[in-house]
Chains A and B, each alone.
Chain A
């Protein structure tokens, strides 16, 4: 309404012609009609989600008073209802996003409810991991047939849960190789959405969930030598960092640039934990033995990820790239070199500390160049975190530690004050 009011005002003031005002109005009316109400979709999904979860909980009560046959028939009711609604949506409402998302979410939970009730009635063995994988695989085709993005997101969450259940929470731990297969099956839908609708809100959710899922699940390949996995993780973060700096992501808000956020925090966090000497002391003592194929899983994962990161790095490599670099994209190479060096000598721990320090300084410099308080303070935070970590090392004297803190504190004040002044001068 306010647009029409504004347009009238602009026409009256002879700023735009009536013709242009008409065109502007027509453009916004068309845009409004073609984009569905986001709130309506969100409530549709939420409603279906609650009903679906509610059905699962009601079923989980285990109704002893019902006969086995009645219970079996009941277990199929939500499933058939869900399927009929989805069939109706495919036939009659296949352009309505709210219908697509809500009906498919309901079907997703109906499938889960049905198999869980049958397992309950017959006390079917099988842990929650095998139940989850059956559920996910039965719902995967819905993602592609109905272009239902919420199901894709639930599927990623379910697959990650499956990986954690087997790889972390189960005793004895089993490497969940199927997780990678599950993830591979969902990637085409991610790609289609990116190609077809790069501004979709669902894509932002995908962008967050996929890297988070990868970060969580990568650790499950660890069998014997978790020390090697640090290289795998740093390579993964290297890949994420380069993706986060691609043209598509650079245009996004920082809160939507999940790859950049996850990789920056992940790399720094990992480097900080490596800046303690325990890791390197341990590395000197390890005797690697590779007898079975499963002893190689960490090496295979690290090799694949580091080669991937290296290819991506070489693809982006040019003068401008080096000039803008804050060293984060090279961390995996530097770490792998220090890892091999660390197998024999203990100098690597100092090297890691120097890398963190250099990243901090380069980030501060970049923040200053870009006149960006966020980046500047992130750099300062890196240095602070490094100082705090060294605070826990007992071999430094209290005086030196105290002085370090004071210096960093002063650094915070000076750099921020100086940048503020610079910004004000520019504004004048």
Chain B
């Protein structure tokens, strides 16, 4: 009996941990969405799939390169901090890339070095943002990609991701095509 009590107590601790991890994930994300700063990142989506988490559109950001002086100063896959500001049109641009964590008043994203290019005068790094995936309903992901491809042909169309930033952490809230949420745009397209 004593053994059983111990076992069930330990099990309750484990069960609590199993509940705590997803709950903590929700709380962190909600806190960034509530108190973080919103930025619009211009993007070009495509649609792959994840066996466990379903269909998502992979986002490729226009603002993902940063000029460097020397290739040797950068290491592939290392952590970097990307300082973000808005341009005249209200879209996010890279202000600077640093290796030391900036103070929390500045808007920045903790990211990784995805690629280092150094050829003659072209010297830059490609940044891997932590919000390159946007999960969508199975039936809509493919449609979203098609819709976007059509939108690309039209120079007046802008696609962007709305991202909230807080102390280096980022939450991708939604993807918009001409200020319409991508889900609504797809639905509208499907209905027509």
Contact = CB atoms under 8 A, between A and B. Distances in A.
Interface of A: 56, 59-64, 72, 75-76, 79-80, 83, 86-87, 90-91, 94, 111-112, 114-126, 128, 131, 134, 138, 141-142, 145-146, 172, 174
A59 B150 CA distance: 29
Contact of B171 (A87, A122, A131, A146): A122
Contacts of B136: 62, 64
B132 interface: yes
B123 interface: no
Given A94-B4, A118-B25, A126-B130, 19 more contacts: A59-B54, A60-B52, A60-B54, A60-B138, A62-B54, A62-B55, A62-B135, A62-B136, A63-B137, A83-B19, A87-B8, A91-B8, A115-B21, A120-B56, A122-B171, A123-B131, A123-B134, A123-B171, A123-B172
Interface in B111-154: 130-138, 140
A174 B76 CA distance: 11
Nearest to B29: A122
B103 to A, nearest CB: 23
Nearest to A173: B77
Interface residues of B, number: 39
A111 B26 CA distance: 15
Contact of B10 (A112, A124, A141, A172): A141
5 tightest A-B CB contacts, nearest first: A60-B54, A125-B130, A122-B29, A64-B137, A123-B172
Contacts of A61: 54, 137-138
B131 A125 contact: yes
B10 A145 contact: yes
B18 interface: yes
Contact of B52 (A91, A131, A138, A145): A131
Contacts of A172: 76-77
A141 B10 CA distance: 9
A120 B130 contact: no
A83 to B, nearest CB: 4
A73 to B, nearest CB: 10
Contact of A76 (B22, B51, B171, B172): B22
B11 A87 contact: yes
A79 B77 contact: no
Contacts of B106: none
12 contacts: A61-B137, A62-B55, A62-B138, A72-B26, A90-B7, A115-B21, A118-B25, A119-B135, A125-B130, A125-B133, A128-B52, A141-B14
B17 interface: yes
